[in-house]
A and B are shown apart, each in its own frame.
Chain A
Amino acid sequence: MKDFPLLDRREVLKAGLRFSTATLGMGAAGAFGQSVPFAPPDSTKVLGPPPSALGQRSPFETPQKFLRPGTAAAGASFTPLEILHGIITPADLHFERHHAGIPVIDPGSFELMIHGLVDRPMKFTLNDLKRFPATSKICFIECSGNGRQAASLPDGLPEDITPGQLDGLFSVSEWTGVKLSTLLDEVGASRRATWMLAEGQDAAVMGRSIPMRKVLDDAMVVYAQNGEAIRPEQGYPLRLLLPGWEGNANVKWLRRLEISDAPFMMRDETSKYTDAMADGRMRMFTFEMAPKSLITNLSYPYVMQRKGFHEIRGIAWSGGGKIARVDISLDGGRNWARAALQEPVLDKCATCFRYGFDWQGEERIIMSRATDEQCNTQLGYVDNEANRGPGTSYHNSAIRPWKIHADGHITFAMKEVAA
């Protein structure tokens, strides 16, 4: 007990400490399981553990993604946006949406195949791909179905939903890999090519058709996320990255790219990720994610603890480029004032915004509204539904209202705004 002179051994064990190297790596108060983490009364009187081979979160911090009850292999888990600070999502909190579970892929035997309208059909190993000129992009990936509980669903609009439960199919990472245009030069893609099939090697062999203009503009195949190999649930060892475009098209566990002169009409781009419009027609290939913002701190289930100064904080993003401005309303959308934007303001990425105000116990509906550098502005509930069609809940980017009640508790107020 030399390192913990102030602690009785039984107390230490009661607190859930185990004196393994791994535990020491977590810090002096490392704790396991359900036990309450333990901190010595005075950390300045206790020699701490030595450096560790792999860092761990403080045992006092136990973030979790949100999983709906009964989530199966074709399911999703949501990033807890309300507990994050800044723009980068920790890799283990990145949202997940899989169609047939997470495949296990050996990087040693992995190859990417490119064929179709090319001079030289080729395969590339992971090491091949890492030897091409590398490039990085800090950007968001947002699931096409993110925020669908802000749409008019048969079971009504919820009031007790957190920002993460509502819009947590949204995460930001630094992605590193190869520009797809570099690889297409290598195989000699035809000038006649207008579409590319991207196909994964999960158990659904999920595939999407991507317009060649996007492929040549800023598409990448990426093998790294926030400085290390991509997580299995994000596509290890390789995924497609289409900055600003709906998550489903950013194909994970990428195995095959087929260059073509027509779309492939895969199941997901015909029967699923299409917009059923008010005129009875169905719109296909709506890839770009619209301007959107979300208040993440003064929102359900937060309760205002006292009167006085409060800072509204949140994130804004757009698939159309950089965020140009975010406006805040404290009166249900009648008046708007400009929020402060936190640098960096990056292309197709989350931008943090802040707005301080004085709360004196009055009932308020607060909301944020994003505008991007293309001058596209986040739509309200009615306009969003008209734009996307009443028969789709994809790409729901409608302005998110939160109601601060007189007693300080906060609820999701879309029901009131939509009425």
Chain B
Amino acid sequence: MNRLGAGIFLAVLGLVGCASTSNNARQDYGLGRVIDAAEIAQWDIDIKPSGEGLPDGEGTAAAGAILYQQYCTACHGDQGQGGTNDRLVAAFDREVNYSTGSPTRTIGNYWPYATTLFDYIRRAMPHNAPGSLTNQQVYDLSAWLLFQNGVIAENDVINRSTLPQLQMPASGLFYWSDEVVDLATD
């Protein structure tokens, strides 16, 4: 290759280099649209363990008992003992959690966060009419289930400040897998 040829060759290399560099730079694709808080709120339904996302209102076991009979017994049994679907009520039993074979995972012996209960009932229950319960009804049902599982007393009231503070019986037994300890802490 003569000197001119080499020069052209290097110039081409340089151009390619520039092109690939610019292609890797932060590209503004101009796709999608920015949304405001009101639009986010329509879909942002999750309840965090801190209680963030919990609505106003409060619930009691007495009111929840009536709702439970109305909406839940067909699948979960009239006392939460389970039926065509999960058992919901069983007091924490260390022997159950130590035993071999799948332990029956109930709210009382397994669920680590009370906030998850409100979140899940509101988003997915009842199975044949998901998302149909009011916040009031979800608070009441949560209260009844927590009372049945021995987490709260019969006359305790749950609301956005008390629910996240409840200590679930099994919460201290949960730990993160090594793969996630590595992945989540960078």
Q: Which residues of A contact B (CB under 8 A)?
A: 73-74, 99-100, 113, 115, 120-125, 128-129, 131-132, 152-154, 185-187, 194-195, 197, 199, 203-207, 211-214, 255-256, 258, 260, 262-267, 270-272, 274-276, 278-288, 390-393
Q: Which of A121, A152, A195, A199 contacts B35 (CB 8 A)?
A: A121
Q: Which residues of A contact B170 (CB under 8 A)?
A: 282
Residue of A nearest to B49 (CB): A265
> Smallest distance from the beta carbon of B137 to chain A beta carbons, Å?
17
CB–CB A186/B102 < 8 A: no
> Smallest distance from the beta carbon of B19 to chain A beta carbons, Å?
15
B33 at interface by CB-CB < 8 Å: yes
What separation, in Å, do the CA atoms of A121 and B99 have in the docked complex? 47
> Smallest distance from the beta carbon of B98 to chain A beta carbons, Å?
4
CB–CB A185/B26 < 8 A: yes
Q: Which of B5-13, B142-150, B176-184 contacts A (4 or more CB under 8 A)?
A: B176-184
CB–CB B124/A204 < 8 A: yes
CB–CB B29/A280 < 8 A: no
Q: Which residues of B contact A212 (CB under 8 A)?
A: 184, 186
Q: Which of A132, A281, A392 contacts B174 (CB 8 A)?
A: A281
**A-contacting residues, B81-136, CB 8 Å:** 85, 94, 97-103, 105, 107, 110-113, 115-116, 119-120, 123-124, 127, 130-131
Q: Which of A100, A131, A270, A285 contacts B113 (CB 8 A)?
A: A270
CB–CB B29/A285 < 8 A: no
What separation, in Å, do the CA atoms of A270 and B49 have in the docked complex? 12
Q: Which residues of B contact A (CB under 8 A)?
A: 26-27, 29, 31-36, 39-40, 43-46, 48-49, 85, 94, 97-103, 105, 107, 110-113, 115-116, 119-120, 123-124, 127, 130-131, 170, 173-177, 179-180, 183-186
Q: Can you add 10 more A-B contacts, CB < 8 Å, to A122-B34, A212-B184?
A: A185-B26, A207-B46, A207-B123, A212-B186, A213-B186, A258-B44, A265-B116, A280-B173, A285-B179, A391-B102
CB–CB B111/A270 < 8 A: yes
Task: Provide 16 A-B residue pairs closer than 8 Å at the C-beta atoms, listed in order of the A residue.
Answer: A73-B127, A131-B29, A132-B31, A186-B29, A255-B43, A256-B43, A276-B102, A280-B98, A280-B173, A281-B174, A284-B177, A284-B180, A390-B99, A391-B99, A391-B100, A391-B103
CB–CB A122/B130 < 8 A: no
CB–CB A283/B175 < 8 A: yes
CB–CB B124/A285 < 8 A: no
What separation, in Å, do the CA atoms of A121 and B184 have in the docked complex? 23
Residue of A nearest to B129 (CB): A203
CB–CB A194/B184 < 8 A: yes
What separation, in Å, do the CA atoms of A214 and B174 have in the docked complex? 22
CB–CB B179/A286 < 8 A: yes
- A131-B31, A258-B46, A270-B116 known; A203+B130 contact, CB < 8 A: yes
Q: Which residues of A contact B110 (CB under 8 A)?
A: 271, 282
Residue of B nearest to A272 (CB): B105
> Smallest distance from the beta carbon of B130 to chain A beta carbons, Å?
4
What separation, in Å, do the CA atoms of A194 and B116 have in the docked complex? 20
CB–CB A186/B31 < 8 A: yes
Q: Which residues of B contact A287 (CB under 8 A)?
A: 177, 179-180
Residue of B nearest to A129 (CB): B31
CB–CB A266/B130 < 8 A: no
Residue of A nearest to B100 (CB): A390
Q: Which of A186, A260, A271, A284 has the most CB of B within 10 A?
A: A271
Q: Which residues of A contact B123 (CB under 8 A)?
A: 204-205, 207
CB–CB A280/B94 < 8 A: yes
What separation, in Å, do the CA atoms of A324 and B46 have in the docked complex? 41
> Smallest distance from the beta carbon of A200 to chain B beta carbons, Å?
10
Residue of A nearest to B124 (CB): A204
What separation, in Å, do the CA atoms of A124 and B42 have in the docked complex? 16
- A204-B124, A285-B180 known; A113+B173 contact, CB < 8 A: no
Q: Which residues of B contact A186 (CB under 8 A)?
A: 29, 31-32
CB–CB B180/A274 < 8 A: no
CB–CB B33/A122 < 8 A: yes
Q: Which residues of A contact B101 (CB under 8 A)?
A: 152-154, 390-391
Q: Which of A128, A203, A256, A390 contacts B124 (CB 8 A)?
A: A203
Q: Which residues of A contact B35 (CB under 8 A)?
A: 113, 115, 121-123
> Smallest distance from the beta carbon of A413 to chain B beta carbons, Å?
21
Q: Which of A132, A211, A260 contacts B29 (CB 8 A)?
A: A132
CB–CB B184/A213 < 8 A: yes
Q: Which residues of A contact B97 (CB under 8 A)?
A: 276, 280, 282, 391
Q: Which of B48, B107, B131, B186 contacts A262 (CB 8 A)?
A: B48
